[in-house]
Amino acid sequence: MREDKTCARALTKHDLESWDSEVLDIRCEEEIELFGRIPGSVHCPFYIFCNDDLVENRKFDRFILELIMSREHLKKLYIICESGRRSEIAAQRIKQNFPQIEVVSCHGGILRWKDDGNELMN
C-alpha cells in the first residue's frame, strides 16, 4: 500500500527554511498584484489546469516536472492559493502524477499567511 503524501495545514516561516522544499503559488497574476507573494515562492497560475482541457492539464504537469527536475533536492511541495480551496485540487493532481513528492495544501492560503503576520513581497 502506498503512503498518502498529501496533507493540508497552514504554511509557517519554518517551512520556508527547509532546503528540500518549495512553495508553489497557484494564484492568478491579479491576485499576486493585489496581495503580494511569499518571498522565494514559485508561481504557476491555477487557470493553467483548472479546466478539462487536456492540453492545459499537460502544461501544468510539464511545469511541475520541470520544477522537480531543476531542483534535485526537492522532496516537499507546499501549494498555496488565496484561501486553500484551489490548492487542495492542485495538491491532489500533483500527488496523482508525481507520487514521489510530498505535497502540502496550505490551509487558509495567502490570507492565513498574511493574518499570521508573515512577510509578503510585491
CATH number at residue 74: 3.40.250.10
Number of compact structural domains in the chain? 1
pTM value? 0.85
Mean pLDDT of 77-84: 93
Residue 122 lies in a domain: no
Q: What are 115's three cell numbers?
A: 493574518
> In this prediction, what percent of the chain has a pLDDT beyond 90?
48
The CA R_g of the chain, rounded to the nearest whole Å, is: 14
Establish if 77 belongs to a structural domain: yes
Report pLDDT for 47.
62
- 120 found inside a domain: no
pLDDT of residue 82: 93
* Least confident stretch, 39-53, 83-97, 105-119: 39-53
| pLDDT value for 54 | 63
- Residue 53, pLDDT > 80, answer no
Q: State residue 16's pLDDT score.
A: 82
DSSP assignment string, 14-78: HHHT-TTEEEEE---HHHHHHH-B-TT-EE--GGGTSSS-HHHHHHHHHHHHHHHHH-TT--EEE
What mean pLDDT is reported for the chain? 84
Domain that holds residue 106: 6-115
